[in-house]
């Protein structure tokens, strides 16, 4: 948020130094010369002004691509974070203070206003493991009909759909089935018996919430 982002247009003044840190991170470093241009009214032409030199550093994939693409003298466009360093020379060298401008590059490309360039995409192999949900699931096998249906020789019953099974589970949870009451036919004889009504050798048992059911009388 507080970084100073700059865009530099210039030429590669030195060859790219490509190496790896102690942790194995690739890093590339080179010097960029940025020369200002101004209009000379006397000569009526563009002339070169002063030249500023910047140390450009790049890391990881960008460092590898810079080392394979940039040569001395090529026009470049560099975007990155500006760092200004200062120090002091040792007494044997005069003891003067010095300042250096460095740029941690986030993007580097050729200046196409002064030439052409060909882009080649680099495809790198995937090294990190796949997440658990991305692994293929084992194939599902049909366990076959239940043992009782296999012994009886009847065809297996079709599986219930998810909606049907859920509806039956909901009905069973909301409406418990009352126990079946069997009474003798003598106790149920009568047009309006309390327990039931005898009909053709069977007793019709009426539950609190169920429809009449016929139960054979022994």
Question: Residue 187: phi, psi to the nearest 5?
Answer: -80, -15
Instruction: Report the residue count for the chain.
Output: 218
Give Cα 202 distance to the centre of its chain.
69
Q: Which helix (H) or strand (E) holds 49?
A: strand 45-59
73/25 Cα distance (integer angstroms): 27
pLDDT one-digit tens code per residue, 19-68:
999 999 999 999 999 998 888 888 888 888 889 999 999 999 999 999 99
For residue 53, the model assigns a pLDDT of 93
pLDDT beneath 70: ranges in the chain: 1, 125-218
Q: Which helix (H) or strand (E) holds 171?
A: helix 162-174
183/73 Cα distance (integer angstroms): 109
pLDDT one-digit tens code per residue, 132-145:
555 555 555 555 55
For residue 122, the model assigns a pLDDT of 81
């Amino acid at each position: 948020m507080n970084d100073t982002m700059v865009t530099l247009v210039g030429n590669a003044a030195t060859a790219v130094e490509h190496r790896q840190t102690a942790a194995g991170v690739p890093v590339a470093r080179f010097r960029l010369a940025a020369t200002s241009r101004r209009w000379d009214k006397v000569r009526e032409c563009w002339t070169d002004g002063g030249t500023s030199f910047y140390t450009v550093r790049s890391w990881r994939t960008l460092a590898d691509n810079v080392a394979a693409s940039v040569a001395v003298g090529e026009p470049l466009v560099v975007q990155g974070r500006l760092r200004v360093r200062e120090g002091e020379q040792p007494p044997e060298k005069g003891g003067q203070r010095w300042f250096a401008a460095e740029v941690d590059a986030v993007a580097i490309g050729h200046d196409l206003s002064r030439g052409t360039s060909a882009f080649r995409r680099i495809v790198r192999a995937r090294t990190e493991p796949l997440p658990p949900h991305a692994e293929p699931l084992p194939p599902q096998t049909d366990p076959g009909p239940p043992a009782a249906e296999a012994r009886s020789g009847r065809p297996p019953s079709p599986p219930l759909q998810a909606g049907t099974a859920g509806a039956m589970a909901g009905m069973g949870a909301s409406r418990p089935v009352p126990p079946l009451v069997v009474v003798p036919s003598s106790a149920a004889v009568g047009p309006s018996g309390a327990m039931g009504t005898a009909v053709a050798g069977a007793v019709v048992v009426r539950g609190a919430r169920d429809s009449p059911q016929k139960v054979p009388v022994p």
